[in-house]
A and B are shown apart, each in its own frame.
Chain A
Amino acid sequence: MWFVMAMISVVSENLILTNALGTSTLMAASKSHFNLLLLSALITIFSVLGCIVTGAAESVFHLSSSDAGRYFLPLVYAAAVAVIYLTMLVAARAALGKTFQKIKKYIHLSAFNCAVTGTLYLNYEVSARRIFSPGVSGWTAFGLQTGAGFLLVSLMLSAVRKRLHSDEVPEIFRGMPAVMVYLGLLSLAVYTLTI
């Protein structure tokens, strides 16, 4: 039952299909299976760690609940992502050796983007709505949900990517316009679940 609820949540509260967060990153992810798995994993790591760090900061400083504090949220969130980003680069360099050169551009791409930062903003709202209980487990669950949602839509897009870029599609719609329409149709399907 828990697994079914989690899957429904991944689909119906998918950040890409309901909030369009991380669409550009998604297009990069769907180019190959390597990109897809690596970017999804990195976005999951950034989201989970980001949610935990910003959630803890929020529970101490209560920035979101004050009008003045809300103006400083981007600064706090950017600082939190920056710490995670730099730590991850140092750790990956130490752990991976030569492979680090291959994957570092994916770490750069995953750090500061709308998917991760949007997750941090929504983490507060979700905690406020008490879908997940506030606390490390709730923040972790929300971060994992974001990563799983990104992976799901990346898989859905990579499955049809060749067809959306093929000669069967009229030239002016080929590629990016077709991808947008396809995402629109997927988003419409999710929208019908939630109305």
Chain B
Amino acid sequence: MKKSDFSVFDGLLRKNSVLAESMVIAPIVVCCDTVMKALVLSFAFACITFLTVATASFYPGKLMYAVRIVLYALTAAVYYIPVALLCRLLAPDTVSQLGMYLPLLTCNSMIVLHSELHFYRMRKRIMVPTLLFHILGFCAAALLLGGIRELLAYGTLCSRVVAMPLVFDGIKAAWAGFILLGIACAMHRKLFRRK
């Protein structure tokens, strides 16, 4: 990567982890059909990913790659416990609706793959803001797709009724998640690709 090409803000828009890098797709495709679900998912993702990547950055680099990956996964699973408890306290119904996709965040590719390839090659003062903008990028993508799907599937936005002429029940399903994500990726590419 050329230094001139790099910016800590890239993770938010230009190199958005979902729309440009196709990471952490499953929860977005299946779960993000309302803003509330997207919000809880984003909160859990932000807490688990930030705490895990930040903590794991202190693990000795001398450890074997496989051992480091195992430690990252176990660290994320440990952080999951308080984060899940907090989420259940704040939004118990939504947490039940998210099902297995909440614990699945503990093995997201930003923790087990991207951290090694990207974040841990940076100095910590660069890594922290870069990681935060990548996390914000995920939250933005989740909220955007959650909002669009809630509008089309339920005719509401943040649980408030919006005057929609038609609602499409099928938009809640995974197939619509894939198609909308594909369209969002294309729009993102149109807007942010550097020539």
Contacts and interface: CB of A to CB of B under 8 A. Distances in A.
A20 B26 contact: yes
Interface residues of A, number: 48
Given A117-B104, A177-B189, A112 B69 contact: yes
B104 A24 contact: no
Nearest to B70: A82
Interface string B153-173: 000000000000000001001
Contacts of B22: 23-24, 27, 176
Contacts of A21: 26, 104
Interface residues of B, number: 46
Instruction: Describe B's contact surface by its main secondary structure.
Output: helix
B74 interface: yes
A135 interface: no
Nearest to A83: B70
Interface string B180-193: 01110111011001
Contact of B182 (A17, A75, A85, A177): A177
B25 interface: yes
B66 interface: yes
Interface in A54-76: 71-75
A117 B77 CA distance: 12
A172 interface: yes
Contacts of B78: 75
A185 B174 contact: no
Contacts of B84: 71
B26 A112 contact: no
Instruction: Describe A's contact surface by its main secondary structure.
Output: helix
Given A74-B77, A118-B104, A180-B181, A108 B30 contact: no
A20 B80 contact: no
Interface in A150-177: 172-173, 176-177
Interface string A83-112: 001100100000000000000000011011
Interface of A: 17-24, 27, 71-75, 77-79, 81-82, 85-86, 89, 108-109, 111-114, 117-118, 121-122, 125, 172-173, 176-181, 183-185, 187-188, 190-191
The 10 A-B residue pairs with the shortest CB-CB distance, nearest first, are: A180-B182, A184-B178, A184-B179, A187-B175, A181-B182, A188-B175, A20-B29, A121-B100, A74-B77, A75-B77
